[in-house]
Structure 1
Amino acid sequence: MSSAPSATILFDGVCNLCNGFVQFVIEHDAAGYFRFASLQSAAGQELLRAHGLQPQTEPDSVILVEGGRAHTHSAAALGVLQRLSGGWGVVGTLGKLFPRFLRDAVYRLIARNRYRWFGRQDACWLPTPELRARFL
């Protein structure tokens, strides 16, 4: 792994919406800044504990671990967008103009319904051999 600064995205590995988000990030992260770990994995659970968060059996948020801090809910999603190319940084910045309680309410609504609306897999998504180095 490179010694360049990076951040880690923890995601629900069986959620189709979350897997789509990871693939979207990979597509728009030309610099390879982000690494990834499923919340269901041992690496994901250890990162949660290391940042004072409870290990999750039913994940309810994408988590962004960056600069020694863990960001959850809308702060995580918008923080990721701010680092992406193609104008997504502007979207992330503009999104943060809304009060967090409103952003998180919308985030939680989507999170509660994500399996119903987008479906789920029986097992965690596996990266291609080319992407495997970016996954913990």
Structure 2
Amino acid sequence: MKYHVIYDGNCNLCVNLVQLLESFDQGKSFVYTPMQNEEVLDSMEVSACDCEKGMILIDKENNQRWQGSDAAEEIARILPSGSWFVSVYQGLPFAKGTGDRLYAMIRDNRYQLFGKRLETYVSRYGMRD
């Protein structure tokens, strides 16, 4: 089974994190689509408004969807030994709320903080239209 990661292909931070995930996973568990690929997003019933709320992780097989910091946590949980890390993180008092707020702050200021790419990054492990 593969999970579908929808990321901002113009955000330097987002692209670097996708590339890191690609190097760990090598297309075994995840396929990737930039938020800028409207054709694929339409086919998955993902709107531009959905994308404004942050990265999206979709498990079509089980009809599940995570967004923002919840998507980041679920991605970490899927990775080897990630489940342990996420459990510890979520078990710490105030960590989840702080992490959610930090994610939202970075999401809303990502271009100012990390820069914007001139060309949209398209993963070699991507779903094509």
Flag whether TM exceeds 0.5 (same fold).
yes
- Provide the residue aligned with 2:71 in structure 1: 76
Cα separation, 2, equivalents of 1:79 and 1:58: 17
Q: Is the 8 A contact 1:78 1:93 kept in 2?
A: no
Shift of 1:30: 5.0
**Where do residues 18-97 of structure 1 align in structure 2 (5 Å cutoff)?**
18-29=14-25, 32-41=28-37, 42-47=39-44, 49=45, 53-56=46-49, 59-66=52-59, 67-85=62-80, 87-97=81-91
Q: Which has the higher helix share?
A: 2
Q: Is the 8 A contact 1:61 1:72 kept in 2?
A: yes
Deviations 1:1-53 (A, max 9, x none): xxxx1100000010011101111111221571001011110213432x2xxx5
Note the aligned Cα RMSD (angstroms).
2.3
Q: How many residues align?
A: 122
Instruction: Tell me: higher relative CO, structure 1 or 2? Use CA pairs within 8 A at least 6 residues apart.
Output: 2
Cα separation, 2, equivalents of 1:97 and 1:91: 10
Cα separation, 1, equivalents of 2:82 and 2:64: 22
Cα separation, 2, equivalents of 1:24 and 1:88: 15
- Structure 1 residue ranges without an equivalent (≥5): none
How has the CA–CA distance of structure 1 residues 72 and 33 changed in structure 2, closer, same or farther, with 3 Å as cutoff? same
- Structure 2 residue ranges without an equivalent (≥5): none
What percent of counterpart residues are identical? Answer: 20
